[in-house]
Amino acid sequence: MPETDLNGKVAIVFGAARNMGRAFAESLAQRGAAVAVHHRGASSQEDAQAAANQIVDAGGRAIVVAGDLAESATVAQIFDKVKSEFGRVDFVINCAGVVIKKPFVEYTDEDFDRSFDANAKAAFFVMREAAKEIEDDGRIISLGTSLLGAFTGFYGVYAGSKAPLEDFTRALAKEVGGRGVTVNVVAPGPVDTGFFHGEESPESVAYLSAASVANRRGTIQDIVPMIDFLCSPGSAWVTGQILFVNGGFVTR
């Protein structure tokens, strides 16, 4: 696809300071979209600014937006800021989230609340605001997890807190489809990022790597093409879907 096929379009990438979110923001910018790079707070400010600076230095347009997505007022303010700066919103990609890996009986009340705030509540607020503010023929994309097709332990609260995205997506796709807006979940398997390695041991990394057909973990660049496709006119007939991108780690 041409690198400038998104000229005039505007994307908000939530959770874009690092890892997959940053790569998605950079790819959309390379294709001509103006990008809002979201991060949560002070610990990710430097990385978010570096991501935005890299886009601008390459000739693109980018701003940094910040805040806790589990606060609905903050989400609304972010959309308002982006529309004030760029005039519209065409693509909303939510990569923000947390993973806590523990045996089921060791999860604390705080672990549960933190996980559902970041992975379910925040996602709902982002999707709800996107449905109000996005342009016709826009795209709403959430990052889910292939673990919802797996039979494995220690991810109960992480996978459980991502599960609502699937029903949110199906419901919202029905409601906004008449405007040409598509709503989908991209559900990666194990991807070689700091987000993944932060909760894994060498043994679990080896086990999860061996589960793919190519006997390796995914890379960020294995996931970027799916986002690129969904943010293209040719994806208009793909909506309400949970798209596993995992090298055969699991199927459903």
Nearest CA to 19 out of 48, 59, 54 is that of 48
pLDDT at 197: 63
pLDDT at 1: 43
Spatial neighbors of 243 by CB under 8 A, at least 6 apart, are 184, 185, 186, 187, 226, 230
Residue 170 in tokens? 């199906």
For the chain, the structural domain boundaries read: 10-98+114-188+221-245
- Taking the model in full, what pTM does it have? 0.95
What CATH number does the domain located at 10-98+114-188+221-245 have? Answer: 3.40.50.720
Please state, in angstroms and rounded to a whole number, the distance separating the CA atoms of residues 24 and 30.
10
Q: How far is CA 40 from the centre of its chain?
A: 14
pLDDT at 85: 98
Run means of pLDDT, 10 residues per run, the chain, 252 residues: 82 97 98 98 97 98 98 98 98 97 96 98 98 98 97 93 98 98 97 76 82 92 98 98 96 90
> Which of 107, 155, 158, 207 is the catalytic position?
158
| Burial (CB count <10 Å: 0-12, 13-18, 19+), residue 73 | exposed
Q: Is 158 a catalytic residue?
A: yes
Please state, in angstroms and rounded to a whole number, the distance separating the CA atoms of residues 14 and 114.
17
